[in-house]
Amino acid sequence: MRIYFITATDTDAGKTMTSAALMKQYGRAHYWKPVQTGTDRDQETVRRLSGASANRLHLGLTFSEPLSPHRAAELDNQEIHLQDLDQRYEQVCYQVNASVRDAASEEEPILFIEGAGGLLVPINRQCLWPHWLQGKDLSIILVCRTGLGTINHSLLSVEAIRARNLPLAGLVFFGPENPDNQRTIQEFSGASIIGQFDVPDHPGGPGGGSAETHTWALPAALDASGLLLQSSHQKAQ
Protein backbone atom coordinates (compact mmCIF):
# COMPACT_ATOMS: atom_id res chain seq x y z
CA MET A 1 0.00 0.00 0.00
CA ARG A 2 1.15 3.55 -0.73
CA ILE A 3 0.39 5.88 2.16
CA TYR A 4 0.79 9.65 2.02
CA PHE A 5 0.45 12.10 4.89
CA ILE A 6 -0.70 15.47 3.57
CA THR A 7 0.53 18.35 5.69
CA ALA A 8 1.22 22.02 5.01
CA THR A 9 3.33 25.01 5.90
CA ASP A 10 0.43 26.33 8.02
CA THR A 11 -3.31 26.03 8.49
CA ASP A 12 -5.74 26.76 5.62
CA ALA A 13 -2.89 26.36 3.15
CA GLY A 14 -4.81 23.96 0.92
CA LYS A 15 -4.53 20.48 2.46
CA THR A 16 -8.18 19.61 1.99
CA MET A 17 -8.27 20.90 -1.59
CA THR A 18 -5.10 18.93 -2.32
CA SER A 19 -6.64 15.82 -0.76
CA ALA A 20 -9.77 16.23 -2.87
CA ALA A 21 -7.76 16.77 -6.06
CA LEU A 22 -5.65 13.66 -5.47
CA MET A 23 -8.71 11.60 -4.52
CA LYS A 24 -10.34 12.76 -7.77
CA GLN A 25 -7.30 11.77 -9.81
CA TYR A 26 -6.72 8.42 -8.12
CA GLY A 27 -10.24 7.07 -8.23
CA ARG A 28 -9.63 4.02 -6.03
CA ALA A 29 -7.69 5.86 -3.31
CA HIS A 30 -8.91 6.19 0.28
CA TYR A 31 -8.94 9.23 2.58
CA TRP A 32 -8.66 9.58 6.35
CA LYS A 33 -8.43 12.67 8.55
CA PRO A 34 -7.36 11.41 11.98
CA VAL A 35 -8.27 14.64 13.81
CA GLN A 36 -10.89 17.23 12.85
CA THR A 37 -11.38 20.39 14.92
CA GLY A 38 -14.13 22.98 14.67
CA THR A 39 -17.26 22.95 12.57
CA ASP A 40 -15.55 22.27 9.24
CA ARG A 41 -16.01 18.75 7.95
CA ASP A 42 -13.12 18.22 5.58
CA GLN A 43 -14.12 14.63 4.88
CA GLU A 44 -17.44 15.82 3.47
CA THR A 45 -15.66 18.44 1.36
CA VAL A 46 -13.31 15.79 -0.04
CA ARG A 47 -16.24 13.46 -0.75
CA ARG A 48 -18.25 16.12 -2.56
CA LEU A 49 -15.42 17.55 -4.63
CA SER A 50 -13.77 14.27 -5.56
CA GLY A 51 -16.89 12.16 -6.03
CA ALA A 52 -15.42 9.46 -3.77
CA SER A 53 -17.78 6.80 -2.49
CA ALA A 54 -18.46 6.66 1.24
CA ASN A 55 -16.56 3.38 1.71
CA ARG A 56 -13.33 5.16 0.70
CA LEU A 57 -13.63 7.80 3.44
CA HIS A 58 -12.67 6.91 7.00
CA LEU A 59 -13.78 8.61 10.20
CA GLY A 60 -11.44 10.28 12.66
CA LEU A 61 -11.68 12.06 16.01
CA THR A 62 -13.71 15.29 16.08
CA PHE A 63 -13.55 18.19 18.53
CA SER A 64 -15.72 21.28 18.93
CA GLU A 65 -13.33 24.23 18.76
CA PRO A 66 -11.31 25.21 15.63
CA LEU A 67 -7.97 25.03 17.42
CA SER A 68 -4.81 22.97 17.47
CA PRO A 69 -5.70 19.31 18.22
CA HIS A 70 -4.15 19.34 21.69
CA ARG A 71 -6.13 22.40 22.81
CA ALA A 72 -9.37 21.44 21.07
CA ALA A 73 -9.27 18.07 22.84
CA GLU A 74 -8.60 19.72 26.22
CA LEU A 75 -11.60 22.01 25.85
CA ASP A 76 -13.74 18.93 25.21
CA ASN A 77 -12.26 17.35 28.37
CA GLN A 78 -10.33 14.79 26.36
CA GLU A 79 -6.76 13.95 25.40
CA ILE A 80 -5.46 12.45 22.16
CA HIS A 81 -3.26 9.42 22.80
CA LEU A 82 -0.80 8.17 20.18
CA GLN A 83 -1.79 4.57 20.84
CA ASP A 84 -5.41 5.40 20.00
CA LEU A 85 -4.33 6.99 16.71
CA ASP A 86 -2.12 3.96 16.04
CA GLN A 87 -5.02 1.60 16.63
CA ARG A 88 -7.25 3.54 14.27
CA TYR A 89 -4.42 3.73 11.70
CA GLU A 90 -4.14 -0.06 11.70
CA GLN A 91 -7.90 -0.39 11.33
CA VAL A 92 -7.99 2.01 8.39
CA CYS A 93 -5.08 0.23 6.66
CA TYR A 94 -6.84 -3.10 7.14
CA GLN A 95 -10.06 -1.70 5.66
CA VAL A 96 -8.22 -0.26 2.66
CA ASN A 97 -6.49 -3.56 1.93
CA ALA A 98 -9.74 -5.48 2.42
CA SER A 99 -11.57 -3.26 -0.06
CA VAL A 100 -8.94 -4.01 -2.70
CA ARG A 101 -9.20 -7.75 -2.07
CA ASP A 102 -12.99 -7.61 -2.25
CA ALA A 103 -12.80 -5.77 -5.58
CA ALA A 104 -10.30 -8.34 -6.91
CA SER A 105 -8.20 -5.42 -8.10
CA GLU A 106 -4.54 -5.70 -9.02
CA GLU A 107 -3.96 -1.99 -8.38
CA GLU A 108 -1.81 -1.10 -5.40
CA PRO A 109 -4.06 0.68 -2.86
CA ILE A 110 -3.40 4.33 -1.94
CA LEU A 111 -4.31 6.00 1.34
CA PHE A 112 -4.18 9.77 1.74
CA ILE A 113 -4.06 10.94 5.38
CA GLU A 114 -4.76 14.62 5.97
CA GLY A 115 -3.19 16.15 9.05
CA ALA A 116 -4.70 18.94 11.13
CA GLY A 117 -2.84 22.24 10.79
CA GLY A 118 0.82 22.35 9.84
CA LEU A 119 3.56 19.79 10.42
CA LEU A 120 4.70 20.89 13.90
CA VAL A 121 1.25 21.05 15.44
CA PRO A 122 0.76 19.44 18.87
CA ILE A 123 -1.42 16.34 19.13
CA ASN A 124 -1.21 16.54 22.92
CA ARG A 125 1.03 18.31 25.45
CA GLN A 126 3.92 15.91 24.77
CA CYS A 127 3.75 15.09 21.05
CA LEU A 128 3.75 16.84 17.69
CA TRP A 129 2.61 15.20 14.44
CA PRO A 130 6.13 13.88 13.66
CA HIS A 131 6.12 11.86 16.89
CA TRP A 132 3.18 9.91 15.50
CA LEU A 133 4.53 9.74 11.95
CA GLN A 134 7.98 8.35 12.74
CA GLY A 135 8.38 4.64 12.05
CA LYS A 136 5.36 4.42 9.77
CA ASP A 137 5.67 3.27 6.16
CA LEU A 138 4.46 6.50 4.58
CA SER A 139 5.69 9.60 2.78
CA ILE A 140 4.95 13.29 3.29
CA ILE A 141 3.20 15.56 0.81
CA LEU A 142 3.86 19.18 1.78
CA VAL A 143 1.32 21.78 0.62
CA CYS A 144 2.85 25.24 0.18
CA ARG A 145 1.29 28.61 -0.50
CA THR A 146 2.47 30.51 -3.57
CA GLY A 147 2.50 34.11 -2.33
CA LEU A 148 4.80 36.33 -0.30
CA GLY A 149 6.42 34.51 2.61
CA THR A 150 6.12 31.03 1.17
CA ILE A 151 9.85 30.64 0.45
CA ASN A 152 10.79 30.89 4.12
CA HIS A 153 7.81 28.84 5.36
CA SER A 154 8.32 26.12 2.78
CA LEU A 155 12.07 25.75 3.24
CA LEU A 156 11.68 25.65 7.03
CA SER A 157 9.03 22.95 6.70
CA VAL A 158 11.20 20.89 4.35
CA GLU A 159 14.09 21.17 6.81
CA ALA A 160 11.84 20.05 9.67
CA ILE A 161 10.69 17.02 7.67
CA ARG A 162 14.23 15.98 6.79
CA ALA A 163 15.60 16.62 10.28
CA ARG A 164 13.17 13.95 11.49
CA ASN A 165 14.11 11.51 8.70
CA LEU A 166 10.59 11.51 7.29
CA PRO A 167 10.40 10.64 3.57
CA LEU A 168 9.23 13.60 1.49
CA ALA A 169 7.29 12.59 -1.61
CA GLY A 170 7.07 16.13 -2.95
CA LEU A 171 5.49 19.57 -2.82
CA VAL A 172 2.11 20.84 -3.94
CA PHE A 173 1.77 24.58 -4.54
CA PHE A 174 -1.69 25.92 -3.77
CA GLY A 175 -2.64 29.41 -4.90
CA PRO A 176 -2.15 31.66 -7.94
CA GLU A 177 0.79 30.46 -10.00
CA ASN A 178 4.02 32.18 -8.97
CA PRO A 179 6.78 30.67 -11.12
CA ASP A 180 9.72 32.32 -9.40
CA ASN A 181 8.64 31.40 -5.87
CA GLN A 182 8.03 27.82 -6.99
CA ARG A 183 11.36 27.64 -8.79
CA THR A 184 13.25 29.15 -5.85
CA ILE A 185 11.76 26.69 -3.36
CA GLN A 186 12.50 23.74 -5.64
CA GLU A 187 16.10 24.84 -6.28
CA PHE A 188 16.95 25.43 -2.62
CA SER A 189 15.12 22.36 -1.29
CA GLY A 190 15.81 19.90 -4.10
CA ALA A 191 12.31 18.52 -3.50
CA SER A 192 10.13 17.13 -6.28
CA ILE A 193 7.12 19.16 -7.39
CA ILE A 194 3.89 17.19 -7.59
CA GLY A 195 1.85 20.04 -9.04
CA GLN A 196 0.32 23.49 -8.63
CA PHE A 197 -3.31 24.58 -8.68
CA ASP A 198 -5.64 27.27 -7.39
CA VAL A 199 -9.28 27.74 -6.45
CA PRO A 200 -9.72 31.53 -6.07
CA ASP A 201 -12.69 31.49 -3.64
CA HIS A 202 -11.26 28.81 -1.35
CA PRO A 203 -11.97 29.64 2.36
CA GLY A 204 -8.27 30.31 2.96
CA GLY A 205 -7.94 32.44 -0.17
CA PRO A 206 -8.66 36.09 -0.91
CA GLY A 207 -12.20 35.46 -2.08
CA GLY A 208 -13.36 33.66 1.06
CA GLY A 209 -16.12 31.11 0.53
CA SER A 210 -17.52 28.19 2.47
CA ALA A 211 -16.57 24.58 1.90
CA GLU A 212 -20.15 23.57 2.62
CA THR A 213 -21.69 25.73 -0.13
CA HIS A 214 -19.14 25.93 -2.93
CA THR A 215 -18.15 23.54 -5.66
CA TRP A 216 -14.67 24.20 -6.97
CA ALA A 217 -13.16 23.09 -10.25
CA LEU A 218 -10.26 20.81 -9.36
CA PRO A 219 -7.53 19.76 -11.79
CA ALA A 220 -8.14 16.44 -13.52
CA ALA A 221 -4.59 15.34 -12.78
CA LEU A 222 -2.77 17.34 -10.09
CA ASP A 223 -0.01 14.71 -10.11
CA ALA A 224 0.39 15.03 -13.87
CA SER A 225 3.70 13.15 -14.01
CA GLY A 226 2.46 10.26 -11.89
CA LEU A 227 5.12 10.95 -9.27
CA LEU A 228 3.10 9.31 -6.51
CA LEU A 229 3.01 6.02 -8.41
CA GLN A 230 6.75 5.82 -8.97
CA SER A 231 8.50 2.99 -7.15
CA SER A 232 10.96 5.29 -5.40
CA HIS A 233 8.29 7.49 -3.84
CA GLN A 234 9.10 6.49 -0.26
CA LYS A 235 12.81 7.20 -0.33
CA ALA A 236 13.71 10.27 1.68
CA GLN A 237 14.59 13.28 -0.49
- CATH number for 138: 3.40.50.300
Average pLDDT score over the chain: 90
- Residue 230: inside a domain, yes or no? no
pLDDT band at 195 (very low <50, low <70, confident <90, very high): very high
Q: Tens digit of pLDDT for each residue in 33-78?
A: 999 999 878 999 999 999 999 999 999 999 999 999 999 999 999 9
Contact 203/210 with Cβ under 8 angstroms? yes
**What's the one-letter identity of residue 116?**
A
Pairing assessment for the beta strands 61-63 and 35-37 based on DSSP bridges: parallel
pLDDT higher than 90, residue 168: yes
- Residue 186: inside a domain, yes or no? yes
Contact 175/202 with Cβ under 8 angstroms? no
Q: Where are the beta strands (DSSP E) in the chain?
A: 2-8, 30-32, 35-37, 57-58, 61-63, 110-114, 139-145, 168-174, 193-197
Mean pLDDT value of segment 137-148: 97
- Residue 168: inside a domain, yes or no? yes
Identify the pLDDT of residue 41. 86
pLDDT higher than 90, residue 105: no
* Residue 131 CB partners (closer than 8 Å, separation 6+): 82, 123
Identify the pLDDT of residue 201. 67
pLDDT higher than 70, residue 204: no
* Residue 114 CB partners (closer than 8 Å, separation 6+): 6, 15, 16, 19, 31, 32, 33, 42, 46
What DSSP designation does 222 have? Answer: S
* Residue 80 CB partners (closer than 8 Å, separation 6+): 35, 61, 69, 70, 73, 123, 124
- Residue 234: inside a domain, yes or no? no
Active site residue 15: no
Which domain, by its residues, includes 23? 2-224
What DSSP designation does 106 have? Answer: -
Catalytic residue among 24, 33, 136, 235: 33
Residue 42 burial (CB count, 10 A): 20
Please tell me the pTM assigned to this model: 0.91
The count of structural domains within the chain is: 1
